[in-house]
Chain A
Amino acid sequence: MTAETTTRTASPVVPAGFGPAWMLRRIGFYVLIAVIMVFFAIPMLWLVSEPFDANPGLTAHWPQWTLGNFAKTFRNPNVLPSLANSLILCGVATVITAAFAALAAYALSRVRIPGRDVLLYILLLMSSVVTGTAAMVPIFILMDQLGLINSLYGTAVVLAGGLLPAAIFMLKDFVDGVPKSYEESARVFGASPGQVLWHVVLPISRPGIATILVWAFVNAWGNFLLPFLVLQDSSKQPAAVILHTLQNDGGGADLTTIPVFSLLYSIPVVVLYLVVSRRYGFRFYGGIKG
């Protein structure tokens, strides 16, 4: 908002606008931007400096370099298994979400059923009104009766179930934008429905599916409440839950291991984003004229 007003006043059509008042407004604007940026940058600086600091604290400062924190963190028997658990949990949840969302989105986009759009909006609305938190008690009872407590895969399925409505909605929007003539063209050449899906629809929807993959993974990776409640065995708990158990002998936050663990915890998401963005690109390439 501020940026917009400022640029409009500074429009080169009005040379008189470059006076002292304009200078002051510009300076004020950049100071504001700088403050906001610092607000977001400091936690990042903390994340890269404190794991290597001999005296880690809650502030970001120039570290006294050491790798001792890492050694100490890895001595905690839960750290490495929890990261592996997270990868399994989120990997499974992401694959289920993407696979089911792709099939559902394609079907919902291409098959005409009466009331389809209403159905979709209700699906999305209900899934955001009845949040995972509100549904946690029934979900817990359900999982208990199904014997899925302490099961990583069971938790992954529940996570995927929570992510699916929004994923279907997003992906359907994407598939709607893929012209039908691609599929019709393949059908005229004799492709079976399976071939149409494998040769044409999935490759063309790849940027959309890549978006869903990253989105689902990030959501599952950051999910704390569900695994905290249903995975009670600490050898099964994912990183998001283990992070909360990192305490020193006095019962306070363990500031030697938390920064290291936070850094390790953030790496997979960043790597995933970079890989997907480079390999598939969040873009749509042409080939349809018109």
Chain B
Amino acid sequence: MAGIDIDALSTVYPNGVRAVDRLDVDIADGEFFALLGPSGCGKTTLLRTIAGLEQASEGRIDIGGREVTRLDPGKRNVAMVFQDYALFPHMTVADNIAYPLRVRREPKDKRRAVAESTSGELSLDGLLDRRPGQLSGGQQQRVALARAIAMGADVLLLDEPLSNLDARLRLEARTFLKRLQRDLKLTTVFVTHDQGEALALADRIAVMSAGKIRQVGTPREVFQRPADTFVANFIGSTPMNLLDGELTAEGLRVAGGLLPAPAGQDDHGPITVGIRPEYLRLSDKSSTGIAGTVSIVENLGVSTLVILDCADGVQLGVTVAEQEEPQVGEQVCAAPEEGRLLLFDAGSGALRRTD
């Protein structure tokens, strides 16, 4: 088992695209680490560079204190599960799981024993003599995981591990994956574009964009205190409200309303105000906050997303509990919960410190 230290790493494709751009990150031993970002942000390239399938152009990668930057994939002792699982279709499940041992020319009976014990851990008993084509999507994924685990690697890399499963199975597989990782205490890096998956699974998340890391933090940190407007926008199942506002002596002017300014903000001027819909409370129109008219009501099951039309053409999303659902056309007022309002620099989009 080992941590991963990545130092000023760049991966440049032959066509000149800098998919990973001078990136630093340290992943601790035994950590479940997510690389999260929109498509084309370089997260998969970073994972493949760690695996050795892409050649790093600059910088270095250490795994367990050993430099692996120029090593072949097979010499790094990392295991990888591909997005399409890449199970060998001409081999049985047992042969697939024991393939890493076959490469090392281990005897047949040892291979069978490892295949049996690993498949037991991943509830694949009774499937050992089937071919991948005869398995369901969830079973195929578990075989791919079993094969990676059977390798006995220091680090497990997962490329979009849940994206090929249907929605219901994905939740089950998520819980399964988290339990498995916790039991094995194996340093695991996984790539996903689904922020919900990253929040649910990871110990820490690196949010990436354009080959760079925007923020590294625990799911809670990334959710509650996004480092900039990009992260704020990307994290959360309902997008964060990002509104143009102005800090004045009286308080924070935003969307026609006046909110109390967070303490310690005397740098007056334009600012971007971020509030998650979940952290807004609706009240009748006479109270303080941002006034608006209910225009759209989207049912999310246990809660409801309400879109308010506010002054200056601003649209504000507010999540309310199912029993508090307002009528379309109703005049209401939205106010943030104590301490949930975030201020971002209007120019750079960086989070301002609020105490």
A-B CB pair tally, cutoff 8 Å: 89
A187, chain B: closest CB distance, angstroms: 5
Whether, in the assembled complex, B53 has its beta carbon less than 8 Å from a beta carbon of chain A, the answer is yes
Q: Which of A190, A199, A285, A290 contacts B74 (CB 8 A)?
A: A190
B86 near A190 with CB under 8 A, answer no
- Chain A residues near B79 (CB, 8 Å)? 188-189
Give the contacts of B145-162 with A (CB-CB under 8 A): 147, 151
A287 near B88 with CB under 8 A, answer yes
Q: With the chains together, A187 CA to B78 CA distance in Å? A: 11
Whether, in the assembled complex, A161 has its beta carbon less than 8 Å from a beta carbon of chain B, the answer is no
A285 near B80 with CB under 8 A, answer no
A181 near B131 with CB under 8 A, answer no
B82 near A184 with CB under 8 A, answer yes
Whether, in the assembled complex, B33 has its beta carbon less than 8 Å from a beta carbon of chain A, the answer is no
Contact status of A190 and B104, CB under 8 A, knowing A182-B88, A206-B90, A288-B85: yes
Considering the complex, give the chain A residue whose CB is closest to the CB of B159.
A181
With most chain B CB atoms within 10 A of its CB, the pick from A185, A188, A289, A290 is A188
Chain B: number of interface residues, binned into ranges? 20 to 34
Whether, in the assembled complex, B26 has its beta carbon less than 8 Å from a beta carbon of chain A, the answer is no
Interface string of B78-105 (1 = CB under 8 A from A): 1110111111111000000001101110
Q: Which of B14, B103, B132 contacts A286 (CB 8 A)?
A: B132
Considering the complex, give the chain B residue whose CB is closest to the CB of A190.
B74
Considering the complex, give the chain A residue whose CB is closest to the CB of B151.
A189
Chain A: number of interface residues, binned into ranges? 20 to 34
Q: Which of B80, B137, B140 contacts A188 (CB 8 A)?
A: B80
Considering the complex, give the chain A residue whose CB is closest to the CB of B132.
A287
B51 near A188 with CB under 8 A, answer yes
B74 near A188 with CB under 8 A, answer yes
Considering the complex, give the chain A residue whose CB is closest to the CB of B48.
A184
A167, chain B: closest CB distance, angstroms: 22
- Chain B residues near A186 (CB, 8 Å)? 88, 99, 103
10 residue pairs bridging A and B, Cβ less than 8 Å apart: A112-B14, A181-B82, A182-B86, A185-B86, A188-B80, A189-B79, A204-B88, A206-B90, A285-B133, A288-B89
Task: List 6 A-B pairs, minimum CB-CB distance, nearest first.
Answer: A287-B89, A190-B74, A287-B132, A181-B86, A185-B86, A189-B100
